[in-house]
Structure 1
Amino acid sequence: MASTQLTWQTAATFTAPLWTVEPDISLVEAICRHHLFPDADSLAVDLTVKFLAQGAFNKVYAVDTERASTAKSYIFRVTLPVDPGDKVRNEVATLDYVKQHTEIPVPTVIAYDSSSHNALGFEWILMDKIPGAPLKDIWSRLSDTSKAAITRQIASYVVQMRKNCVFHGIGGLYHGSDDEFIIGPIVTQSMFMNGRRLLVSRNRGPYHHGSDYARALVDLQITDIHLLETMRSDDPNFDEDLFEDGPAMLDAMDGLLSLLPTIFPKDKKNEPVRAPLVHPDLSLSNIMVDPDIFEITGIIDWECTNASPQWQGTYPQFLTGPDLEEEPARLETGDINCLRNELREDWEKMQLRAVFDEVAGPLMEEPLAELKRDFIYYLEGAAYSQFMTQQWIQKTKENILSHSSYFFSSHIQAIFIRMHRKPRPHAGVKS
């Protein structure tokens, strides 16, 4: 069912939702007053709402209150119905679960509505405001020692997630009955990142094997192309570029399907999948810190968090990058050369990954883990470059054939994985 609150903008290298209706800030204020001061004359309370920021799917408002000389701040986030109901319910349950089972500082949800059928006309969440500033605002002026200390703290949080937030199904986390939590439909951009995805049948899990998850993503791409073939060119959800690439897309999906049994072999013991919660974007923007003492005050933006297969959980986003064989020259003050800055940043990330490993332990990769990540990467990138995906498919098939029956030995797998470990080209897929 099409939504009246958004439309989708599609270009050669990206797809993004556009707001067609602006949230009424006076209604945001009324909702905040009702939930923050339910037993008082809320109009007598000093409460202000100001627009703060906008993300891919949300508009964020700062809510400041003062009552009896006590000031408090909150965040009110209005969200587009890109994944109606589930995205908000999933985030609320995730925040509750993480707060209950770890020591990770996360926002406390005060109230929410996972339906757009309300006075505001949007889904929304009201939560307390994590103090401090985004780490990205101060990262460049931190010393190596401070960066290492923050990395160790993040690593300790990841360890807690890996130990205390583990499930036996791949999917989103939701509140069940009697204060229980359940794994339900997955909440990921791959399942809703254009206006057509809500119009077709989607297997959103929960999945009990990585191959089921990968197959669902391939099937969705195929279904999407077949839907495009039936649409009028003046339909707002029609994508002319993707329609023209339809045959190449279907060929790429066939190639991926032929690799799926090899890269995602079924467990003969049929043991339940081990799927820890993984924050989808542990970037410098979502790590809040005290700007004076450089200590973490909270982790924000938990939308689209899922119980994910272990091979998807590697390093936090702010530490990802290529491995360098030798240290590049240190930058002179004011050096704006992009290449030198990028090399230095990559070197710094590599050093911090070693710091991360001191706390979390070295990454213990299951067999074919890198190939599984590549499979998903090139699957999602196929919408923007079928040629790049087909190249990867061909190279992977050639390597499999060259290793013949020895492919499944641990020694050959290790060699094969190292051959594929490389910086990935940008495929235009939103992170």
Structure 2
Amino acid sequence: MAPYDNIADRNAQDERIEFARRLINNRSDLITLLKGSFNIGLIHENRGSGEKIVLRFPCTGTVHAPWREEKVRNEVAVLEYLREKTSIPVPRVLCWGPAEESPYQLGPFIIMDFMEGVDLSEIMETPGRDKDEVPVLNPNIDNEKLDYLFEQIAVYLLELSRLEFPRIGAISKDVASGEWTVADRPLTWNMNELVTLGDHPAEELDGMEPYERVSDSFLSKASHFKTHLERQRNVAQDDEKEAWDRFVARRVFEKLIPVYNVSDGVHSAGEGGRFRLFCDDMRPTNMLVDPETLRITAVLDWEFTNAMPAHLAADVPSWLLLKRPNVWLDEDKTDEFVRLFKPRAEQFIRAVERVETREQLRTGSTPLSAQVRDSWESGRFWLNFASRCCFDVDEVVWEFLQGEGRGEAMLDESERAQKARFVKHKMEQFQQYLKEKESDPRFAKAE
């Protein structure tokens, strides 16, 4: 994994601390604090009726501040759409608004129903985990229990796979017609990471429009990856070889887009020209279940959900082991990951097949289960995964996509000619970064 910019990360931490301080100072009538990756929620209980609601704010420092209102607006639209079009249990939005209408002036907000249940990942994880460790799927979990959970999630994915959009971007409801449309750029988790931790200039992303074609969407991602590598000063530390290897990996990613038939909505499963709702963060840690029946009672946190290329929604879920693939790569456990992930991928595909047969939920001429299997077996899963991981794209390319005949051999003459200039530039950048960090009293105190 490429390192975060530690200075940017410390700036974000300071913003989060200040936001939390203001929140705590204004929560006298609120009873419980809920903390997530991108949001802080407060539960309020009506003492007479016992009814609970959640007041939720996007965290300053975790979400790029100018994008917080856009993030809230997009998530509210997705929640309304899901309640209207699917059986997925999502909270009802009671009220939402921009910063100027915010309780306690804490930023844009959503007030929604409180959903009952326990964290699904707690049901699935290996017992006895230290709280500081990333949860991992219990290798001895009962397969019937896991099949039941997989089948419920398969129903949701199949429902989403039948709902199509004409473009790639954020969805919204046209006030006049009541029809759902795509009118704005896709605001993604990856974009937020690039800006908050990777020194990517936000203004270059602010001018984005919805995409008409899959190829344009993926080539745009490749461009963002290259800009990130160019701009983040410590991305390769003081290692010339690593700097050049990252340069090569990001060019290889771009050149593999047509190799995996990711072009203009057409891919080898035959499902082209359609875009589907895709959530980067639809995983067990954002799902609640009834601990007695194992029925999923809520699917939460739909931020950064957009109409996206159909093949992203036709991948094996990357969370099947709970701990994501990039974490296994960071720990140098690639072989162990593959050994454990393959049988769970097959188990999930079989669950989709059973639901397709039982519920008669099919998508077009090619069943979703066949699309998922094709993505996994062809290796397109890894290109799709890399496209969503700005800090891990290099490792994914190195481990799963840079096979025989790829790598530096794929670069053209003009790209190879950039090596000396690029490496020199990255080494100079890192020295400038070190000087700035060494002069920052916040890091001196930490040492």
Q: Could you say which TM-score interval applies, normalised by the shorter chain?
A: 0.5 to 0.7
- 2:33 corresponding residue in structure 1: 51
Is the Cα contact below 8 Å between 2:225 and 2:390 reproduced in 1? no
Q: Report how far residue 318 of structure 1 moved.
A: 4.5
2:2 equivalent to 1:21: no
CA gap 1:120/1:259 in 2 versus in 1, 3 angstroms: same
Aligned residue number for residue 364 of structure 1: 371
Stretch moving more, 256-265 or 72-81: 256-265
* Contact 1:378–1:392 (CA under 8 A) maintained in structure 2: no
Residue equivalent to 1:319: 320
Matches of 2:4 and 2:406 in 1, distance apart? 38
Matched, 1:120 2:114: no
* Kept after mapping to 1: 8 A contact 2:264/2:272: no
* TM-score, normalised via structure 1 length: 0.66
Report matched runs for 1:7-406 at 5 Å. 10=5, 17-18=12-13, 19-23=16-20, 24-25=22-23, 48-52=30-34, 54-67=35-48, 70-80=49-59, 81-82=63-64, 83-115=67-99, 118=102, 119-139=104-124, 143-163=142-162, 165-178=163-176, 179-183=178-182, 184-193=184-193, 194-195=195-196, 196-202=199-205, 204-226=208-230, 228=231, 239-242=233-236, 249-263=246-260, 264-266=262-264, 273-313=273-313, 314-319=315-320, 347=343, 350-360=346-356, 362-364=369-371, 370-378=378-386, 383=391, 386=394, 389=397, 394-395=402-403, 397-398=405-406
Q: CA deviation at 1:15?
A: 10
Which segment drifts farther, 276-285 or 209-218? 276-285
Structure-1 separation of matches of 2:265 and 2:120: 41
Q: CA deviation at 1:239?
A: 3.8
Q: What is the TM-score of this pair, normalised by structure 2?
A: 0.64
Match of 1:324 in 2: none
User: Any idea what SS the aligned residue of 1:66 has?
Assistant: coil
Q: Distance in 2 between matches of 1:106 and 1:97?
A: 10
- If each structure's helix is expressed as a fraction of its own residues, which one has the higher value? 2
Change (3 A) 1:116 1:356: farther
Q: Percent identity?
A: 19
Give the drift of 1:354: 1.4
Distance, in Å, in 1 between the alignment partners of 2:201 and 2:73 is: 17
CA distance in structure 2 between the aligned counterparts of 1:204 and 1:213, rounded to whole angstroms: 10
C-alpha contact 1:51 1:60 (8 A) present in aligned 2:
yes
CA distance in 2, matches of 1:9, 1:247: 18
SS where residue 355 of structure 2 aligns? helix
Structure 1 residues 117 and 293: CA distance shift in structure 2, 3 A: closer
Q: Secondary structure of 1:276's match? A: strand
How far apart are residue 62 of structure 1 and its match?
Answer: 2.0
Any idea what SS the aligned residue of 2:94 has?
strand
Paired residues, number: 345
> 2 CA distance for matches of 1:341 and 1:391?
12
Letter in 1 for 2:320: L
1:24-60 Cα shifts (integer Å, max 9, x gaps): 3478659xxxxxxxxxxxxxxxx533212x2222112
Partner-residue secondary structure (3-state), 2:161: helix
Quick one: structure 1 residues 89 and 242, their matched pair in 2 at CA, closer, same or farther if it must change by over 3 Å?
A: farther
RMSD over equivalenced CA pairs, Å = 4.1
Cα contact 2:89–2:297 (8 A) shared by 1: yes
- Counterpart CA distance in 2 for 1:357 and 1:17 is 44
Distance 2:392 2:38 in 1: 21
Q: Secondary structure at the match of 1:395?
A: coil
Partner of 2:132: none
AA aligned to 1:216 is: S
